[in-house]
A and B are shown apart, each in its own frame.
Chain A
Amino acid sequence: MSAAARRWWIGAGVFLLLVWLVGYPLVVTTFAAFVPEAGGVPGAGAGASAPFTEFVNRPDEWTALFRSLWISLASVGLAGLVGVPLGFLFARAEFPGRRVLGELLALPVALPPLVGVIAFLYLYGESGMATRLVGSLVQSSGAPWRLTGPGAILLVHTYSMYVYFYLFTRAALARFDGAQLEAAASLGASRWRTLTRVVLPGLAPALAAAAILTFLTALGSFSAPYIFGGSFRVMTTQILASRQNGDVDIAEVETFFLIAVAIGGLLIARGLQRRHLGRRAATQRGTPPERRQVRSPAARLALALAGWSLALLLLLPHLTLILISFVPRASWTTELFPPVLSLANYRALGATGAAAEALRPVANSLWMALVATAGALVLGFVAARRAVDRRPGGVFWARAIGLLVAIPWAVPATAFAVALATTMSVNSPASGRFLLVGTAAILPLAYLARALPATGQAAIAALEQMDPQLEEASASLGAGKLRTLARVTLPRVRPALAAGASLAFLAAFGDFVVSIVLYTYETRPISIEILSNLRLQETGVAAVYGVLLTALSAAAFLLWGREKEVR
C-alpha cells in the first residue's frame, strides 16, 4: 500500500471512531425524535410523530426554549460588561498586586460549576451567610432577597463566565501592536477615538470568540438553573424533568431542539465572524504598548483596594464553602455565624466502616475522570494528527475530523448525555449500539466524548504551530516513527496536551450535568453525592465533598495546567 493510501485508511478509521462517539448519538436521537417508537432503529414504527407534535403544541416547551435563548444572550452581555473592563485594567495598568489578582480573577472558570453554585447557595441563599448578615443589618424578619429565578441564574452565570471575556481581552491586548496606538496618536486621534476606532475593532475577533464560548456555556448550563431556577425552567432542566417524569420521547425532541439552537447559534456566530472579522485577526504584530503606571498614590490605593475587594468577593463563595464544611449537622439555626465549628463532617467521611462507602464517590470520580482523560488524550492526539495532515491521502479526512473533534463543545452537555443514553440503551452491535447505560462504562465514555474538544483542540493547535521540519529533521537523522514521536513530537506538544488534559480532567472530575443523566448508584460521582446530601439537609457533608472536589481540581490544574513551553 502506498503511503497516501495508508494515510487515507488511517484517516477513515479515526473518522469512523469519532463519528460513532460524537456524531452517531446525535443522529440516533434526532431520528428518535421524529420516529418515536423506533428508538432510532430505522424501519420500525415509522410514521408516528406524536412527541414531536406534542412538543410543538405545548407552550411551556417554547417558553423554556425562549428562556434558554434570552438567558444565554443576557449572560453574554453581563459577562462582557464585567470581563472586558477587567481585561483592560489588568492588561494596561500597573498597580500593586496586579499579578496575583490577575491570576485570582481567572479562578471561577477552573472550579466545578456545581460547587460554585452551592457555594453561592451557602452565601446568598435563603439562609446564606450574606443573606443573614444583611437581614440582621436591616432588621428584616425574613430574608432580604430570594436567590431564585432568572436573576439568580444570571448572577451565577456572570460570576463564572466573565472569565472568558476577561482572559480573551487580556490576551488580545497583550498581542496588540503598540505602534497602532502611536500611529493613531500621531494622526491626532483622541483617546476615545483611538479606543473606538483602533483598539475595540482590533479586539473584535477575541470578543467574538469569548461571546460564542459564553453563549454556548450558558445555553448548556445546568447546575445554576437546576438549583436556583425553581419553576423557571430552561431547556436543560426541562429535558431532565421530562426524563424523570418518564417522558423519554419528549426529552429526545427537547434534546433535538436544544442541539439545533446550539449549532444554529454557533453557525450564525461563525458566519458573522467570517463576514465581518475575517481579515482582522492575523494583522496584529509587533510589541504591545507599555503598561500605564498608575502614579497618583490615591489612585494606586483605590485600585489596590478595589482589586482586593473584588478578589475577596470572588473568593467569598469558596471561603464560605470551606467554613460550612466545619459546621456540624443541625448546630446552626438562627445565629449570624455558625456557633460550633468542628471536624465532625470530615471525621464522618474518614470513619472506619463508613469510610469505604463515603469515599466511594471520590474514588468513582477519580478513576472515571482519569480513564476519560487518558482516553481523550490518546484519541484527541490521534485525531489531531489526522486533522492537521496536509499530505496526499491524509488531507481527505482532515477537515471532517477537525470538525468532529469540536462537536461536543457546541452540543450542550445535557443534550449529549440524553443522546448517549438513547443510543447506548439498546444492544445492537450491528448498528454500532451497545447496551452501556447502567454499566460502569457509560460515564467514562460520556466524559471522554465531552473532554475530546479540550484535548483534541489543544493538540491540533500545538501541532499546527510546530515546525513540520522538526519531524523531517528527525527522520533525516535516521530516527524511526516511534522515536520521532517520543523524542520530538510529544515533547513539543506536551505543554498543550497537559493543559488540555487538565481541562479535560477538571470537566470530568467535577461533572454534574452528564452524570445526573447517566449515573448508577454504584458509579455515582462526587457531584451526585453532593446533591443527595443537600437533599438530606446534610449541608456540612455536602460542603466537605465540595471542598474535596475543589481541592483535587485545583491540584490537577496546578499540576498539569501550567507547563511552560521550551522555546
Chain B
Amino acid sequence: MTTPPDPAATAAATDLVLHDIGKQFGEKRVLDGISLTVPRGEVLALLGPSGSGKTTLLRIVAGFETADRGTLRVGEQRVERLPPARRDFGMVFQHYALFPHLSVGENVAFGLEARKLPRAQVQERVAAALASVDLAGFERRRISEISGGQQQRVALARALAPEPRVLLLDEPLSNLDPTLRERTRRELAATLRRIGITTLLVTHEQEEAFDLGDRVALLHGGRLAQLGTPHELYRAPATRFVAGFIGRGSFLPVTIQEVGPQAENGFSPTAVSGPALAPGATLSLASRGFGKGKEADLWLRPEMLEICDGAAPGTPFTGAFLSARFSGPVSYLTVRLDSGVEIEVMVTGEIPAPGVEVGLRLRADACPKLFASALVEGPSA
C-alpha cells in the first residue's frame, strides 16, 4: 500500500458525492432525498436503526440496487448508471462473501485478474495485500481452514488489492465475537488511516461508527437525521430522534418560564420549571426557538447530572434511588423523581442503598437541550 497523495491536491477529483438519492420498494419509501459528500480519504459511517435505509444506500452506491432518483459522482464522473464491475469500488460484505471454492490467494487475486494485470504483478500485489492485513503466507489456505477474524481480513485484503477509488464496508465487524471485534476494529481503523481511502461504512453500532468514522451520517426512516463528527452528534443532537438514538439520556417534561435576549449564536438563556423538577425549582440553560409558557422536553444525559443533598435549597431534582447498573469504571443509577418520572445518573463512586432520598443537579460542564414536547411532535420524532 502506498501512502496517498496530498489530499488537497486531488480532493476535487475523487470526492464521493451522493445527491438527492431516492428509492422505493413498492409502496415503501426506503430512501428519501439523501445528499452526502464524502471527501477524499474520509471515512463516513452510515449509522441508523434497522430499516433506516443505510444498507440500501450502500448497495446503491455499490451498484447492486438502482436508485429511483438522484445522482452519484466520483469527482466529476457520474457513476449511477455504471454496472458494479465498472465502478472501481471495493466492498467488504457483512458475511464476507469469500469464494469458498478458491484459496485465500485466489480470492485476493480475483479483482486483479479481472483487471487483467500480468501474473507476476498479481502475485506481488496479493502478497502485499495479505501482508498488510497480517496474513502473509496464507495464499494457499482454503477459506474453510481459517478463522472468522482471518476471513474478515481476507475480505478486506481482497477488496483493497485492486486499489479501488472507494471502499464500501457493510457491517464488517458484525460477524465477530465481542473480544475479536474490538481488536479487529482497531486494526481496521489503523489500516483505513494508513491508506487514506475514501470509505463508506454501514453499521448499526454507535461505538463502531464513532470509532471508525471521521464523520457519521445518522439515517432515520430513509432520511438523513444528522451529519457530523461523532462529537457533534453526541454533544449537539439536531433532533429528538438523534438525542434518543445516540448514547443514553432521559426526557423530562418542562414548561418554559423565562426566555432572555438572543445571543449571537442564536441561543437565548432560558429558565424552565415543571412537574419533573422539585417544587419551586428552576433550571437555567440555553435554548433556541422556544417561547415563554411553552411545553418542552428537557434532555439530559446521565453524565450531565451529579448527586447532591436533596434538602439543599434550589436543588432542581429530588427523588428516591431505585437501582444501579454497574459497568466497571462507572455506574448508572436509576432515580425515581418525586413526580414519578425515572432518570439515569452516572456516578463513579459509591452506590447508595435502595430507597435513599437523593438530590440531583447539573454538572458545571453540562449542556442540556430542549426539544419540542413529544406530545406535540409525535412519538416518531
Residues of B within 8 A of A566 (CB): 100-101, 142
Q: Which of B303-349 contact A (CB under 8 A)?
A: none
Q: Encode A444-474 as 1/0 by CB contact (under 8 A) with B.
A: 0000000000000000000000010110111
Q: Which residue of B lies closest to A468 (CB)?
A: B97
The verdict on B90 contacting chain A, using a C-beta distance below 8 Å, is yes
Q: Given known contacts A472-B93, A567-B100, A567-B144, is B110 in contact with A477 (CB within 8 Å)? A: yes
Q: Given known contacts A472-B62, A487-B110, is B115 in contact with A478 (CB within 8 Å)? A: yes
The verdict on A170 contacting chain B, using a C-beta distance below 8 Å, is no
Residues of B within 8 A of A478 (CB): 85-86, 88, 111, 114-115, 162
Q: Which of B90, B94, B142, B144 contacts A477 (CB 8 A)?
A: B90
Q: How far is the CB of B137 from chain A (nearest CB, A)?
A: 22
Q: Given known contacts A3-B66, A472-B64, is B162 in contact with A477 (CB within 8 Å)? A: yes
The verdict on B7 contacting chain A, using a C-beta distance below 8 Å, is no
Q: How far is the CB of A4 from chain B (nearest CB, A)?
A: 8
Q: Which residue of B lies closest to A2 (CB)?
A: B66
The verdict on B217 contacting chain A, using a C-beta distance below 8 Å, is no
Contact B114 A483, beta carbon cutoff 8 Å: yes
Residues of A within 8 A of B84 (CB): 472, 475-476
The verdict on B153 contacting chain A, using a C-beta distance below 8 Å, is no
Interface centre among B87, B101, B102 (most CB of A within 10 A): B101
In the complex, A470 Cα to B91 Cα: how many Å? 12
Q: Which residue of B lies closest to A475 (CB)?
A: B84
The verdict on A479 contacting chain B, using a C-beta distance below 8 Å, is yes
The verdict on A492 contacting chain B, using a C-beta distance below 8 Å, is yes
Contact A477 B158, beta carbon cutoff 8 Å: yes
Q: Which of A520-567 contact B (CB under 8 A)?
A: 566-567
Interface secondary structure of A, over-half rule = helix
The verdict on B251 contacting chain A, using a C-beta distance below 8 Å, is no
Interface centre among A470, A477, A478, A492 (most CB of B within 10 A): A477
The verdict on B69 contacting chain A, using a C-beta distance below 8 Å, is no
Q: Which residue of A lies closest to B84 (CB)?
A: A475
Q: Which of B62-98 contact A (CB under 8 A)?
A: 62-64, 66, 83-91, 93-95, 97-98
Residues of A within 8 A of B97 (CB): 467, 469-470, 472-473
Q: Which residue of A lies closest to B93 (CB)?
A: A469
Residues of A within 8 A of B168 (CB): 476
Contact A477 B101, beta carbon cutoff 8 Å: no
Residues of B within 8 A of A3 (CB): 66
Q: How far is the CB of B240 from chain A (nearest CB, A)?
A: 36
Contact A477 B111, beta carbon cutoff 8 Å: yes
Q: Which of A465-509 contact B (CB under 8 A)?
A: 467, 469-470, 472-480, 483, 487-488, 491-492
Q: How far is the CB of B316 from chain A (nearest CB, A)?
A: 53
The verdict on B122 contacting chain A, using a C-beta distance below 8 Å, is no
Q: Encode A349-390 as 1/0 by CB contact (under 8 A) with B.
A: 000000000000000000000000000000000000000000
Contact A475 B100, beta carbon cutoff 8 Å: no
Residues of B within 8 A of A469 (CB): 93-95, 97
Q: How far is the CB of A313 from chain B (nearest CB, A)?
A: 41
In the complex, A472 Cα to B84 Cα: how many Å? 8
Q: Encode B100-120 as 1/0 by CB contact (under 8 A) with A.
A: 111000000011001100000
In the complex, A487 Cα to B101 Cα: how many Å? 9
Q: Which of A473, A487, A567 contacts B91 (CB 8 A)?
A: A473
Contact A476 B62, beta carbon cutoff 8 Å: yes
Contact A467 B101, beta carbon cutoff 8 Å: no
Q: How far is the CB of A73 from chain B (nearest CB, A)?
A: 44
Residues of B within 8 A of A487 (CB): 99, 102, 110
Q: Given known contacts A478-B111, A478-B115, A487-B110, is B64 in contact with A470 (CB within 8 Å)? A: no
In the complex, A473 Cα to B99 Cα: how many Å? 9
Could you write out 26 A-B pairs with CB less than 8 Å apart? A469-B93, A469-B95, A470-B97, A472-B62, A472-B64, A472-B93, A472-B97, A473-B97, A474-B99, A474-B110, A474-B114, A475-B85, A476-B85, A476-B87, A476-B159, A477-B111, A477-B158, A477-B159, A478-B86, A478-B115, A478-B162, A480-B85, A480-B114, A487-B99, A491-B101, A492-B100
Q: Which residues of A contact B (CB under 8 A)?
A: 3, 467, 469-470, 472-480, 483, 487-488, 491-492, 566-567
Q: Which residues of B contact A (CB under 8 A)?
A: 62-64, 66, 83-91, 93-95, 97-102, 110-111, 114-115, 142, 144, 158-159, 162, 168
